[in-house]
Structure 1
Amino acid sequence: MAVDPTSDSVQSQALGRQAAKGAAWSGISTIVLRLGSLVVGVVLARILAPDQFGVYAIALTVQGILMTVADLGLSAEIIRSEEPERIAPTVATFGLASGAILTAATAGFSPQLATLLGDRDASGAIAILALTLLLAGISIVPYGMMLRRFQQRELFLIAVVDFVVSTVVTFALLAAGLGVLALAIGRVAAQTVASTLQFVASQIRPRFGLDRDQWREVLAFSLPIAGANLFSWILLNVDNIIIARVAGATALGFYVLGFNIASWPMSALSQMVRSIALPYVSRVQDGAAVLPRMAALVWALALPTGLALAALATPLIHVVYGAKWAASIPVLAALGIYGALRVIFDLFAGYLYALKRSRPVLFLQLFSLIALVCGMVITTPRYGIVGAAWIHVAVSVVLILPGYLFILRATGVRLAALFRECFLPMTAAIPAALVAFAAARYIPIPLVALLVGGLGAVLAYLAVTGRWLRSQLKKARAPHPAEHQSAGP
């Protein structure tokens, strides 16, 4: 049976427009919310002492890891399934069950978890944040459906409401003297509102049930993704656990501040990549052919940003947070580089999930976790938080990047095409980083160094890549031949 190539082309163009619109809204969302979070984070850093910052970081570490487990990879199954409405009750049931069990277990064992991580004072915040696990489990279906439909505009508006609620509640409770608990309560209040709005925006009513023909298939796809996501989160947070145990909450506070700064732009880019990669690649006919072009655009944004953060670490810390946080400077220098790599890894993972290749990602995350833990245990007692930061870079370059390239090649991705597409942004980022480094090194006034270095890096980068970036963006809006190949008769 022949497939109408005209219809195929129209569908692919519509999908491309949806993805581009979704990416644009996702980008706007992440930029606006990251700027807002930056302002709030600066105020909190000037209110809280490093040890208080460390206590909340311990609680967030537990919440972040368990939140990944609570999802069970089910939102990804909603995104890529050909029959999302049919599997929705099964997914909702699994999500509710996992969220409820993890909430009860986390709250019940919060003192033991806090003690295990090196600071018993975190137990109250851990117990409160446990409620977010239940909320996340309940809202898996509407959240997954909104991502599937590229409803990034609605997700942005919900995120704005979430941010406003969290900020207002947090500062009100801080003024009332609740300390670190104010941050945890603010997070729970915000997520309660956001989860409710997701049901409203997606026009989905809670439905529960188990389809005997579907639940095994759902878990077979979802659980490896949940495992891979869990290991990914542990990779991002195992350093917090080790530092809290070895160096204490104060050192962890300095480390987390550096990590958070590195995450400002990188988490924004990662969120945009994750929101688009899986639903887009799931519906193109030859993902292996379009991946190099996608990777080039992602790398063109992530690499210069990461290198600029590393080069401008000193003036950035002094201007935004003040001299009392200077111990975070070498941490940021390392994690800026790591953050750029993490964004491209998110793209690779999304591509592989779309192809149902979640198991190789799971194994790669497992091996990476083992290497990271071993490296942290060896280096942190001797080199402190700086050694912990550079271990992230080493594991990413030596193990994770080669591992992903090996897996991608097995799916049909031409590595030569991938390297060729990424070569120009990689080479252009080097002089841009040197401009930023020179400004940070030779201009004595931190604010002037930050402004001159940042602007100079942008101009140097665009001087080399400006025409190429315009060309790539035009290609991204147009359908790729691989996206609408016609089938034979």
Structure 2
Amino acid sequence: MTSSVAPETAPETGLGGRVLSALRWSFVATVVIRFSSLGVSVAMARLLGPSEFGVYAVAFVVLAAVLSLNELGVSVALVRYQGDERVVVPTVATLSMLGSLVCYAVIFSVAPGVAASFGAPAAVGPIRLIGLCVIVDGLAAVPVALLQREFRQKRRAVADITNFGVGSVISIGLAVAGMGAVSLAAGRIVGSVASVVLLVSSVRGRWRFGWDRNQAGGLLAIGLPLAGSSLVVFGILSLDQFIVGHLGGATVLGIYVLAFNLSSWPVTALSQPVRAVTLPLFARLADDPARFSRTAVDCLGALLAVTVPVATGLGASAYPLVRVVYGPDWVSSSPVLVWLAVLGGCRVLLELFYDLLVALGATRQLFGLQVAWLVVLAVGLPVGQHLGGPVGVAVAHSLVCLFVIVPLNVRAMVMRTGTPVRALVLASLGPAAGGCVIVLTAVALQRSVPDLFALAGTGLVAGLFALRGVLRLRGRVAR
């Protein structure tokens, strides 16, 4: 570095480069996994059918519940830790592993009761098998947090792709052999083990167990509210599946879960790679309110520019997508997907608000927002089920999120950061206009051409808008 570079600009340049590199590798892993998983999910859906798919869905719901709690939130505390991470790593590793072992013991014990409550008694074995992923996740907590903290997403990308690749091969092979829902659970656990081996090797010499009572107290003070919030989020995203499964059984649940998984594409394809950098980035800007606010508006506008095309294209193409890709056995998922696509788009924004509030240390306020969301859903979802079955549940969930929860999170962000509401509105106008164009295109094509051509045409238009948004996102991060 030459003397002509001002000292105060050097860290900024280094941070910008690391953020861009991490974001690039996050998107690489996401693109590879998402597009590959489309083929795998189609194959598994056709091999298993709605009933077996519903059995696996019950097991996965249980896993998601425990993964939201098992490491007690201390890995996130490690990501935002302001000092030398070597001081806290041993205690974080111990807390994560202890929490995971306790959680698996609970999974094993409650599996029969949970399976029965979802209307899928055959799910007991898959629940206990896939639950082993909780122990593997406890081992991975520290390596993942260290890689995220240091923006080393290339290592994480390799591990994630390995996880998906190994798990998919095992799942498809076992499904062909007639193992049913167990095939998905077994693939998940084998893939997770392969991934954790790579993750641990990437932080060799820094990952170890230990204990410091004082550090443990501080970590839990930050982590437990986050773990509680994550558990509430699980309830938010699973309450609809519980209601549908409890009243409709495994087959109806399988149909609903297929639509829910498809609607989650905006979250997994867009939010997850961006979240690999947003939390550590916002944590480093938390002491500069003006820059924090500008960066928040930039990220929101850029995320909307990518998310709206994907979500609207997905929802507007729900009928031809399901008919062409998944076949007639799954056509009942189409009207559910139309509405859940709205929920998927909203979830991308809510996860950005989550990272903003965590970076600002507003974990109690965040927990309150999540509890409010769960309470409103607890009232609205049964009403939706009564009026319209699974489609009514999807409508209720989406409307609650769009008209109640998103505004509450925007209000919290504005109050915490002083961000002008006008700036947020202006950042939303362009993406909203693009979404209208995509919907009109989809409607026109579906009325005039066969499903395959309508799907391809809508996908092309939505893809062009999304590509424009990706380029905008990259430019905003660079700035």
Q: Normalising by the residue count of structure 1, what TM-score does the alignment of the two structures yield? A: 0.92
Contact 1:433 1:457 in 2 (8 A): no
Matched, 1:267 2:268: yes
Shift of residue 5 of structure 1? 9.8
For the residues of structure 1 that align with 2:265 and 2:342, how far apart are their CA atoms?
13
Instruction: Provide the rounded CA distance (Å) in 2 between the counterparts of 1:141 and 1:199.
Output: 8
Counterpart in 1 of 2:68? 68
For residues 449 and 126 of structure 1, do their structure 2 counterparts lie closer, same or farther at Cα, with a shift above 3 Å needed?
Answer: same
Match of 1:354 among 355, 359, 370: 359
Q: Is the 8 A contact 1:246 1:381 kept in 2?
A: no
- 1:482 corresponding residue in structure 2: none
Look up the match of 2:144: 143
Other-structure match for 2:326: 321
- Which residue in the other structure is 1:481 paired with? none
Which range moves more in the overlay, 55-64 or 418-427? 418-427
In structure 1, distance between residues paired with 2:394 and 2:158:
34
Trace 1:331-350 onto structure 2 (pairs within 5 A).
331-350=336-355
- C-alpha offsets along residues 419-466 of structure 1, whole Å, 9 cap, x if unaligned? 2222222222211221122212332x111111122223445x48xx95
- Structure 1 window deviating more from structure 2 (324-333 vs 226-235): it is 226-235
What is the identity, as a one-letter code, of the residue corresponding to 2:371? L
Question: Matches of 2:252 and 2:346 in 1, distance apart?
Answer: 25
Please say which of residues 107-116 and 45-54 is displaced more in the overlay: 107-116
Per the TM alignment, residue 214 of structure 1 is displaced from its structure 2 partner at its CA by 1.5
* 2:38 matched residue in structure 1: 38
1:364-395 Cα offsets, whole Å, 9 max, x none, are: 11110111122111221331110111112111
1:383 lines up with 2:388 in the alignment: yes
Residues 408 and 37 of structure 1, relative CA distance in 2, 3 Å threshold? same
* Alpha-carbon distance between aligned partners in 1 of 2:273 and 2:239, rounded to the nearest angstrom: 24
- In the TM superposition, 1:409-488 aligns within 5 A as 409-412=414-417, 413-443=419-449, 445-459=450-464, 461=465, 473-478=474-479
- Once the two structures are superposed, what CA deviation does each residue of 1:163-220 show, in whole Å capped at 9, x if it has no partner? 1211122223223332211111111111111112111012245422221221111111
The alignment partner of 1:48 has SS state of helix
CA contact (8 A) 1:34 1:265 kept: no
Does residue 1:201 correspond to 2:202, yes or no? yes
Relative to 1, partners in 2 of residues 1:456 and 1:469: Cα closer, same or farther, differing over 3 Å? closer
1:375–1:204 distance in 2 versus 1, CA, 3 Å: farther
Q: For structure 2, which runs of at least 5 residues remain unmatched after alignment?
A: none
Q: Provide Cα deviations, 1:9-59, integer angstroms capped at 9, x if missing partner.
A: 221121111111111111111111011111110001111121111110011
Q: 1:472 deviation in Å?
A: 6.0
Q: Kindly state the Cα deviation for residue 403 of structure 1 after the two structures are TM-superposed.
A: 1.1
Map 1:303-314 onto structure 2 (within 5 A): 303-314=308-319
- Give 2:214's aligned residue: 213
Between the aligned partners of 1:204 and 1:234, the Cα distance in structure 2 is 37
Contact residue 288 and residue 411 of structure 1 kept, 8 A: no
Mapped contact 1:25–1:153 kept (Cα < 8 A): yes
Which residue does 1:370 correspond to in 2? 375
Contact residue 135 and residue 195 of structure 1 kept, 8 A: yes
Q: Supply the distance in 2 between the matched residues of 1:205 and 1:456 (Cα, whole angstroms).
A: 47
1:440–1:453 contact (8 Å) kept in structure 2: no
Secondary structure of 1:282 counterpart:
helix
Matched residue SS, 2:264: helix
Report how far residue 130 of structure 1 moved. Answer: 1.3
Q: Is the 8 A contact 1:437 1:453 kept in 2?
A: no
Instruction: Letter of the 1:189 partner, please give it.
Output: V
Q: Using the alignment, how far apart are the partners of 2:144 and 2:427 within structure 1?
A: 33
Rounded to whole Å, the distance in 1 between the matches of 2:16 and 2:169 is: 38
Determine whether 1:288 maps to 2:293.
yes
Corresponding letter in the other structure for 1:454: G
Aligned 8 A contact 1:95 1:138 in 2: yes
What's the counterpart of residue 397 of structure 2? 392
| 1:380/1:387 contact within 8 Å kept | yes
Contiguous gaps of at least 5 residues in structure 1: 479-489
State the identity as a percent: 32
What's 2:134 paired with?
133
Q: How far apart are the structure 2 equivalents of 1:42 and 1:204?
A: 41
Question: Matches of 1:96 and 1:361 in 2, distance apart?
Answer: 26
Q: Closer, same or farther in 2 for the Cα pair 1:249/1:208, shift >3 Å?
A: same
Distance 1:334 1:102 in 2: 34
Question: 1:296 is matched by which residue type in structure 2?
Answer: G
The range that moved more, 89-98 or 377-386, is 377-386
In 1, are the aligned partners of 2:306 and 2:470 still within 8 Å (CA)? no
1:485 alignment partner in structure 2: none
> One-letter code of the match for 1:448?
F
Equivalent residue, structure 2, for 1:124: 125
Q: TM-score, normalised by structure 2?
A: 0.94
| Secondary structure class of the residue paired with 2:88 | helix
Shift of 1:319: 1.1
- The 1:158/1:470 distance shift into structure 2, 3 A limit, reads closer
Find the counterpart in structure 2 of residue 486 from structure 1: none
The answer to whether the 8 Å contact 2:89/2:207 transfers is no
**What is the Cα deviation at residue 62 of structure 1?**
0.6
Inter-partner Cα distance in structure 2 for 1:362 and 1:68: 13
SS at the partner of 2:214? coil
Q: Is the 8 A contact 1:142 1:204 kept in 2?
A: no
DSSP 3-state at the match of 2:212 = coil
After superposition, the C-alpha distances for 1:216-258 in whole angstroms (9 at most, x for unaligned) are 1111111111111111122111111111101111111111111
Q: In the alignment, residue 385 of structure 1 is paired with which amino acid?
A: P
Pair 1:408–1:189, CA change in 2 (3 A): same
Say if 2:162 is the partner of 1:157. no
Change beyond 3 A, Cα 1:158–1:473? closer
Residue type at the aligned position of 1:416? R
Superposed structure 1 runs of 4+ greater than 4 Å apart: 468-472
The aligned counterpart of 2:256 is 255
Equivalent residues of 2:86, 2:206 under 8 A apart: no
How far the C-alpha of 1:470 sits from its partner, in A, is 5.4
- 1:161 CA displacement: 1.2
Give the partner amino acid of 1:226: A
In the alignment, residue 195 of structure 1 is paired with which amino acid?
V
Contact 1:435/1:457, CA 8 A, preserved across alignment: no
The 2-side partners of 1:57 and 1:160 are apart by: 22
Distance 1:469 1:178, change over 3 A: closer
Instruction: Name whichever of 302-311 and 260-269 sits farther off.
Output: 260-269
